[in-house]
Chain A
Amino acid sequence: MTLNLSVLTPNRIVWDSEVEEIVLSTNSGQIGILPNHAPIATAVDIGILRIRLNDQWLTMALMGGFARIGNNEITVLVNDAEKGSDINPQEAQQTLEIAEANVKKAEGRRQKIEANLALRRARTRVEASNPIS
């Protein structure tokens, strides 16, 4: 049995093809999905999606959303997604530094929450751009 993965963002379709296995970071921790998984609908956190294809692991940075798994079809609906190979590591590192500085500067509840979210996004992108991790 094969597993079909489609990763969709409002702007474009990021991924739409067969995969062997994925590891998805949900709000309650990471879950691995192999073919013939039980149907679930889950919230997806800001985090990394790992995809196994031809015994190679690919990474993708996901910016929060939902996933629906059922009938060997995985549909991941996210605010934004980027393939690890498309991210410029230096640029991601810079963004992370800016985000870290912003967290220190942030005042007030709303700003703090937003700065923290930005930091998590930046961190995810750095992790995804790093092929070894």
Chain B
Amino acid sequence: MAMAALRREGRRFATPLISPNPATVFRSSIIPSEEPVLSGVRCISTQVVRNRMKSVKNIQKITKAMKMVAASKLRAIQTRAENSRGLWQPFTALLGDTPSIDVKKNVIVTISADKGLCGGINSTSVKISRAMHKLNSGPDKENKYVVLGEKAKAQLVRDSKKDIELVMTELQKNPLNYTQRSLVAGVKWVMVSVMADDILKNVEFDALRIVYNKFQSVVSFLPTVSTVLSPEVVEREAESGGKLGDLDLYEIEGAETKGEVLQNLTEFQFSCMMYNAVLENATSEQGARMSAMDSSSRNAGDMLDRLTLTYNRTRQASITTELIEIISGASALEG
């Protein structure tokens, strides 16, 4: 009874391999005697499990390696991200961060990674950007996207292609840097200030909203929106004593007009914010990838355990059947 059950189990493992090609099964069961077929089936079943185990082991190796790579990249980029945090705080103190401001031309700068396999950070950016889009839409209002990174592009092109103004990809192929001064021979840096200039030149805006994942720890990333206002809006708000009333307390010096200074100031603010946002997002990406790869290597380990158990059980079963067959054969001869 138990033997029959075990045999059934052996066959069950074999079926997926055999069923797509019934002709071979037929032939192999006709030509040799019945005994080799059964053991053959058992062999195939262990073979299948063994192959599966091998591939799972390989996948585990790959995910482990990816985790290591992400971890080492994370350490390098985390310090840079932390260093870049110093600058946006004084800007926020001076110009304020006013996500609730109501303006006509909104530009949403979505920052995402170029590669996948890093948890949900890319779809989070996209989701928040869509929410911002919906939040600020209305009659006589304009909403545009500026997309950084391959992944957000792929997701946003699908449903809001007409709103995408500018796409920049392959940010992380070269190390990120703010200015070109630390250009080392042979190493190409991505200059965020140049990138920001590109956006400012090519896109008309009243408010730029930068959407990115702020790095908090290796396992937690905060989707964040930073708002940068255009110089005209800043001036208007400061004079009307609205949200930026504090700015009027300062005497503005250094150029012919106040507008000129504000223009430079907002441009500088935007490039600094961008730099920080891009770095934070890159750090989050590495962190997310690290934890995603960690959990997938753990899952691969669990799977391997289960497969090993099945493999050993089938192997044991085939040995047991063979033993019983030999013993019963021998006892038949004796008796």
Q: Which residues does A use to contact B, with CB under 8 Å?
A: 6, 8-13, 26-28, 31, 38-45, 63, 65-66, 68, 70, 75, 77, 79-80, 121
5 contacts between A and B (CB under 8 A): A9-B87, A11-B84, A40-B251, A43-B253, A68-B250
Q: Which residues of A contact B247 (CB under 8 A)?
A: 41
Q: Are A44 and B250 in contact, with the CB atoms below 8 A?
A: no
Q: Report whether B84 and A41 are in contact in the complex, using a CB–CB cutoff of 8 Å.
A: no
Evaluate whether A11 and B80 lie within 8 angstroms (CB atoms) in the complex, with A39-B249, A75-B90, A77-B87 already known.
yes
- Chain B residue with Cβ nearest A28: B254
CB of B221 within 8 Å of the partner chain: no
**Considering the chains assembled together, what is the distance between the CA atoms of A6 and B93 in angstroms?**
14
Distance A68 CA – B254 CA, assembled complex (angstroms): 12
A8 cross-chain contacts in B, Cβ below 8 A: 86-87, 90
| Complexed CA–CA distance, A63 and B253 (Å) | 18
Main SS of chain A's interface residues?
strand
Q: Is B261 an interface residue (CB 8 A)?
A: yes
Residues on B lying within 8 angstroms of A by beta carbon are 80, 83-84, 86-87, 90-91, 93-94, 177-179, 181, 192-193, 247, 249-255, 261, 264-265, 268, 271-272, 275-276
Q: Which residue of A lies closest to B252 (CB)?
A: A41
Partner pick for A42 among B80, B177, B253, CB 8 A cutoff: B253
Q: Are B83 and A43 in contact (CB under 8 A)?
A: no
Note all chain B residues with C-beta closer than 8 A to A79: 178-179, 193, 268
Given A41-B94, A65-B268, A80-B181, check contact A10 B275 (CB 8 Å). yes
B255 with A10: CB separation less than 8 A: no
The residues of B that contact A6 with a CB separation of less than 8 Å are: 90
The answer to whether A27 touches B254 (Cβ under 8 A) is yes
